[in-house]
Amino acid sequence: MSEERIDPLALVIIPTYNESENIESIVSRVLAAAPSVRVLVVDDGSPDGTGRIADRLSSEDHRVHVLHRTEKNGLGAAYLAGFSYGISQGYSLLIELDADGSHPPERLPALISAVTTDTTGRVGGSIGSRWVRGGSVVNWPWTRQIISRGGSWYARTMLGLPIRDVTAGYRVYRSDVLEQILAESVESRGYCFQIDLTRRVIGAGYGLVEVPIEFREREAGESKMSGAIVKEAMVRVTQWGFERIFRH
């Protein structure tokens, strides 16, 4: 896809906490894959100097911006801060992307195109999906695959969602749709945040297009996944599921 077809008002939001080994590479790959996008690094006061590296990248390239936060409040809070920034700056597309290289930036054009070529007005965003035809994971132990597949199945079943990869974190959203669904506060902070946004977008009557990606386990740095994150997702999905059942 040519650069001209990439929305120049697309903002790629990259939350970071101790990603000094990855941030320069991932920003470079994003801008190589989609040169007309802008990048916002949301750093949660990384003690390893990630924020300083991001500042340097910003000084070297006008397409890179940095939002410094003073404490680590979780993935959801970082993305909400990024969404708020993007909406206030007038970006039409807001994109979620991990700093660790798990989400291939080279698929950005396809993810963006899935939204911008919609003529119905009912596509609210797109998802880089591991669990649709053509999607895959690399270097993941079978235990992680079971947790991810099982979590998506449980959320999909409990919440009645037509999405295969409900927990995916590689996403493009229309900013006007985000403004609409975020009118009510979002309390979820971990990976449950992705499930929460999925159900809100679908509940508002919009669709999410799943675009296959090859998801790779990080090669540098430490994963932020924990038992507490999985537990939060299970508890909240169960609560939302019962609310949905009893409401009907």
pLDDT in tens, 155-177: 999 999 999 999 999 999 999 99
Residue type, 239: Q
- Say yes or no to pLDDT of 3 above 60: no
Q: Which of 100, 127, 102, 105 is nearest to 15 (CA)?
A: 100
Is the model more confident about 211 or about 246? 211
> Token pair of 217, please?
């386990």
Overall size of the chain counted in residues: 248
Highest mean pLDDT among 2-16, 64-78, 110-124, 132-146: 110-124
CB 164 within 8 A of CB 131: yes
User: HSE-up of 181 (CA within 13 Å, CB side)?
Assistant: 24
Across 136-159, average pLDDT: 90
d(CA 104, CA 138): 12
Burial of 29-53, coded b for 16+ CB within 10 Å and e otherwise, reads bbbebbeebbbbbbbbebeeebbeb
pLDDT recorded at residue 220 = 62
pLDDT recorded at residue 2 = 41
- Say yes or no to pLDDT of 76 above 70: yes
d(CA 202, CA 82): 22
Q: Which CATH superfamily is domain 7-247 in?
A: Spore Coat Polysaccharide Biosynthesis Protein SpsA; Chain A (3.90.550.10)
Q: How confident is the model at residue 1 (pLDDT cuts 50, 70, 90)?
A: very low
> Token pair of 31, please?
């801008």
Q: Among residues of the chain, what percentage have pLDDT more than 90? A: 72
CB 139 within 8 A of CB 164: no
Average pLDDT, the chain: 90
Across 2-29, average pLDDT: 85
Q: Which of 115, 136, 137 is nearest to 126 (CA)?
A: 115
Across 97-118, average pLDDT: 96
- Say yes or no to pLDDT of 5 above 90: no
Across 53-71, average pLDDT: 96
Burial of 135-144, coded b for 16+ CB within 10 Å and e otherwise, reads bebeebeeee
- Say yes or no to pLDDT of 143 above 90: no
pLDDT recorded at residue 235 = 87
